[in-house]
Amino acid sequence: MRNPRYDILFEPVRIGPVTAPNRFYAVPHASGMTNTMPRMRAAFRGTKAEGGWGVVCTGYVSIHPSADDSPLPYATLWDDNDIRSHALMTEAVHAHGALAGIELWHGGGSVSNKTTRLPPLSPSGLSWMATHVGFMGNQRSKAMDRTDINNLLRWQAEAARKAKRAGFDIVYVYAGMGYLPYEFLLPEWNLRTDEYGGSVQNRVRLVRELLEVTKDAVGDTCAVALRISLEELRARASDNAASEAHEVVALLADVPDLWDVKMDSSPTDCAPSRFTPEGSHEPVIDFVKRVTRKPVVGVGRFTSPDAMASQIKRGVLDLIGAARPSIADPFLPRKIDSGRESDIRECIGCNICISSWHDGVPVRCTQNPTIGEEWRRDWHPERYARSEKAANVLIVGGGPAGLECALTLARRGCKVSLAEAQAEFGGRLRFETSLPGLKTWGRVLDWRLGQLAKFDQVSLFPGNRLSVDDILGLEHQRIVIATGARWTRMLYSPLELPVTAPMANVFTPDDVAAGAHIEGPIVVFDYDNYYMGGVLAEHVARGGAQVSYVTPAGHASAWTIMTNEQPQVHRALARAGIPLHTLSLVKAFESPELVLANLFTGAEQRLACRSLIVVGARLPHSELYDALLSRQSEWADAGIDAVDRIGDAQSPGAIAHAVYSGHRYARDFDQDARAPLYKRDSPIVESEPRVYAEAAVGREAAAR
């Protein structure tokens, strides 16, 4: 039974000519699934609709080949095949009574058109020149002339008509995050002296015209939404309003049918929980509802129904937007609707999902291993086929892999015993959630323990370190080893490989976790490159020691560029007074001095150091597994059919990898060994693929 406090979340909301059945709105977000994966994409979004999201949107969809974000995974709506490709999604979403939205997109001077090789377009010939190599390009943009502007308006209208044919109910104009219409809004990008530049009225003109042509094209049956970034604009003073953001929203107030409001850059828009709390957009977007009569949707990594209801009641939002919470739990709305709030698998704000987009692959999630696998592996987040081989399984190790495996096996009807050496479950999470900013990651453990408690056939044995003899003395058909991994003391060679170099006073994160006494000054040497090096440096610095951070990479916690954390990692280290030494290898260490060598030049530098903490290679705890294999001849008498490894005990990775590994084992353990790994998706090709309007681009006006 639904809690009446949350009734407000289930009210329908009129959006132009269409009506959302409730206030749960799965906003446009990158899924990594391009038009080459239309069935995966459709099932992924259809599952959100099935889970109760009243509106489900696409990610960014290019309206024209001059908006080519390759190698990042963007969708296209360029030809008839693309229409069919997207129609699979609208059908999947409509099948559950939800509305389908499409975020039409032009990347302007923020893309390099690496595949189409057309000149990028921008208001004044300026291009985004990123500091990170992953986003760098050498192709600068062309300043748009009047013909280019007319073309853009035509492309938007044509794409909107295609979107309508594909069955979409809400069609977007996207003026955010450095993309083309946004570039017209900001005076740094827009140096024009014609009617599209200068005053705020002029800078807003293109967005208004895009909205108008979209309305003319499809506004009779589809709602027209404006997605806009307001952070930079809100920071700018205005002569006519409280800020330029207020002025822009006032000028366009009732032109779109829906305002979808957000921040300007990925690290603030999709901010990690390590540095930013839930609801962080509110101070920037809170004014919009006071300026427009049209409904407003916004995000904030909302997972609590109370926080959602509060947003509505306080007049901040009309629709609760979600990207990450809808990935972590596609059934979040249904769970609230049926009074099962405690079953919500809350997003932990780790941003592994956004790293998938940066990697150019289908979306992955730490909390939800089924995301992106709905079609190709037939993994439904809430439905589990009963195992034909109702096995009796012993899982050794209660970290993320063991916990996820236990839960999924239980859902499949297996009898499960889960043994954990320590008094508390959680594995690596026990220590890592105590590190600065990582408390929210504890949801990985809490949710699984909460769910496991519902199953009578699950027995939990904390405080039980099992030996081979213990395991052979128990009666289980399947043994799953989930004993995790350990950090090594290996250093790093100029060939970029871990190397063993015996030295005294060298520690690992495991030593820190175990409470080892580590004397300062401390150097953290990080070639793992994810969060651990940076967060551990912060952690030991809080203990009062003098700490330096050294890495062979070009940035601190270099891989965290993928999870939107890197700017904040640098700021956090600076705040903690931790000096950085990048492009550096450890050449020699004899307390109290550490010798560094530059990765490229070999130039040496000396640092005061009594303790070196190496955050580098991890190796599996495979002793138990190896010992069991060495006694395979005894398995039959012990009733054991098979012994397998999962998670870090198999191949060390991020928590997301461990969860996925545990889940996959439990889904597949009873499959024929030669069963297909998964279905392979392919593009829809019903008519000869052709890109229209190509010839018109890049010619000078005089030639047309």
Active site residues: 179
483 is a site residue for ligand ADP (CB under 6 A) = yes
Q: How far is the CB of 567 from ligand SF4 (least distance, A)?
A: 17
| Alpha helix stretches (DSSP H) within 478-630 | 509-513, 531-542, 566-575, 623-630
Give strand pairing partners of 598.
Answer: 584
Residue 441 or 549: which CB sits closer to ligand ADP?
Answer: 441
Q: Closest distance between ligand ADP and the C-beta of residue 458, in Å?
A: 16
Q: Which residues of 346-365 are buried (b: 16+ CB within 10 A; e: fewer)?
A: bbbbbbbbbbbbbbeebbbb
Q: Does residue number 347 form part of the binding site for ligand SF4 (CB under 6 A)?
A: yes
Q: Give the one entry of ligand SF4, ligand ADP, none that residue 167 binds, where binding means its C-beta sits below a cut-off of 5 to 8 angstroms depending on kind.
A: none
Q: Tell the residue number behind the tokens 């026990």, with chain if given.
A: 430
Phi, psi of 491 (to 5 degrees): -90, -150
419 sits near ligand ADP (criterion: CB under 6 A): yes
Query: Which positions from 668 to 697 touch ligand ADP by CB under 6 A, shown as an x/- string?
Result: ------------------------------
Determine how β-strand 611-615 pairs with β-strand 392-396: unpaired
Cβ nearer to ligand SF4, comparing 431 with 660: 660
Number of residues that bind ligand ADP (CB under 6 A): 24
Determine if 301 is a binding residue for ligand ADP (CB under 6 A).
no
Name which of residues 453 to 482 contact ligand ADP (CB under 6 A): 465-466, 482
Residue 606 CA: distances (Å) to CA of 114, 259, 328, 503, 586: 43, 56, 46, 17, 10
CB-based contacts of 504: which residues, under 8 Å, 6+ apart?
Answer: 591
- If one asks whether residue 647 binds ligand ADP (CB under 6 A), the answer comes out as yes
For ligand ADP, the binding residue among 183, 648, 670, 681 (CB under 6 A) is: 648
Could you check whether the bond before residue 502 is cis, i.e. omega within 30 degrees of 0?
A: no
The entry of ligand SF4, ligand ADP, none that residue 647 binds, CB within 5 to 8 Å by partner kind: ligand ADP
Stretches 201-209, 362-370, 382-390, 568-576: which one binds ligand SF4 (CB under 6 A)?
Answer: 362-370
Out of 21, 101, 108, 349, the only residue in the binding site for ligand SF4 (CB under 6 A) is: 349
CB of 651 to ligand ADP, least distance (A): 9
CA nearest neighbour of 173 among 218, 240, 239, 143: 218
First and final C-alpha spacing in the chain? 65
Q: How far is the CB of 327 from ligand SF4 (least distance, A)?
A: 4
- SS3 at position 328: helix
Contact 171, 105 (CB under 8 A): no
Question: Mapping DSSP to helix (H, G, I), strand (E, B) and coil, where does residue 11 land?
Answer: coil
CB of 349 to ligand ADP, least distance (A): 19
Pairing type for strands 458-461 and 13-15 reads unpaired
For 547-574, b/e burial (b = at least 16 CB within 10 A) is bbbbbbbebbbbbbbbbbbbbbbbebbe
Which residues face 456 on adjacent strands?
Answer: none
**Least Cβ distance, residue 371 to ligand SF4 (angstroms):** 7
The one-letter amino acid at 176 = G
Written as six digits, the tokens of 274 are 């390590």
Least distance (Å) between residue 472 CB and ligand SF4: 38
Q: Of these, 21, 398, 509, 533, which contacts ligand ADP (CB under 6 A)?
A: 398
In the list 52, 219, 400, 534, the residue contacting ligand ADP (rule: CB under 6 A) is: 400
Cα–Cα distance list, 357 to 70, 75, 189, 268, 563 (Å): 11, 12, 25, 16, 10
Angle 566-575/531-542 helices, nearest 10 degrees? Answer: 20
Work out which of 372, 402, 437, 616 binds ligand ADP, going by CB under 6 A: 402
What is the per-residue DSSP string for 576-596? Answer: TT--EE-SEEEEEEETTEEEE
Interaction partner, residue 327 (ligand ADP, ligand SF4, none; CB < 5-8 Å by kind): ligand SF4
365 touches ligand SF4 (CB under 6 A): yes
Q: How far is the CB of 138 from ligand ADP (least distance, A)?
A: 41
> Can residue 47 be called a binding residue for ligand SF4 (CB under 6 A)?
no
Nearer to ligand ADP (CB atom), residue 376 or residue 621: 621
For ligand SF4, which stretch binds (CB under 6 A), given 123-131, 203-211, 346-354, 668-676?
A: 346-354
Q: Where are the alpha helices (DSSP H) in 543-694?
A: 566-575, 623-630, 655-668
Least distance from ligand ADP to the Cβ atom of residue 699, Å: 56
Burial class (CB in 10 A: 0-12, 13-18, 19+), 304: middle
**How far is Cα 215 from Cα 217, in angstroms, rounded to an integer?**
5
Question: Considering CB distances under 5 to 8 angstroms, the limit depending on partner class, which of ligand ADP, ligand SF4, none binds residue 21?
Answer: none
List C-alpha distances in Å: 40 to 35, 326, 362, 371, 536.
10, 16, 9, 10, 38
Nearest to 512 by CA among 530, 491, 492, 538: 538
Position 73 contacts ligand SF4 (CB under 6 A): no
Residues 318-337 as x/- pattern, contact with ligand SF4 by CB under 6 A: ------x--xx---------
By residue count, the chain amounts to 704
Q: 616 with 528: CB under 8 angstroms?
A: yes
Two tokens at 560? 């965290």
Cβ 426 to ligand ADP, closest distance in Å? 7
Which segment (59-67, 344-352, 425-433, 544-552) binds ligand SF4 by CB under 6 A? 344-352
From the list 34, 35, 214, 366, which residue makes contact with ligand SF4 (rule: CB under 6 A)?
366
Among 157, 207, 297, 352, binds ligand SF4 (CB under 6 A): 352
Is 109 or 662 the residue whose CB approaches ligand ADP more closely?
662
Cis peptide before 120 (omega within 30 of 0): no
Scanning 3-11, 304-312, 345-353, 478-486 for contacts with ligand SF4 by CB under 6 A, the matching segment is: 345-353
Number of residues that bind ligand SF4 (CB under 6 A): 13
* One residue of 51, 330, 397, 533 binding ligand ADP per CB under 6 A: 397
Q: Should residue 624 be labelled a site residue for ligand ADP when binding is judged by CB under 6 A?
A: yes
Q: Does 348 contact ligand SF4 by CB under 6 A?
A: yes
391 belongs to the binding site for ligand SF4 (CB under 6 A): no
Q: CB-wise, 242 or 627, nearer to ligand ADP?
A: 627
Q: Which stretch binds ligand ADP (CB under 6 A): 181-189, 229-237, 419-427, 670-678?
A: 419-427
> Binder to ligand ADP among 16, 178, 399, 533 (CB under 6 A)?
399
Q: Which residues bind ligand ADP (CB under 6 A)?
A: 396-402, 419-422, 427-428, 465-466, 482-484, 621, 624, 647-649, 658
Q: Which residues bind ligand SF4 (CB under 6 A)?
A: 324, 327-328, 347-353, 365-367
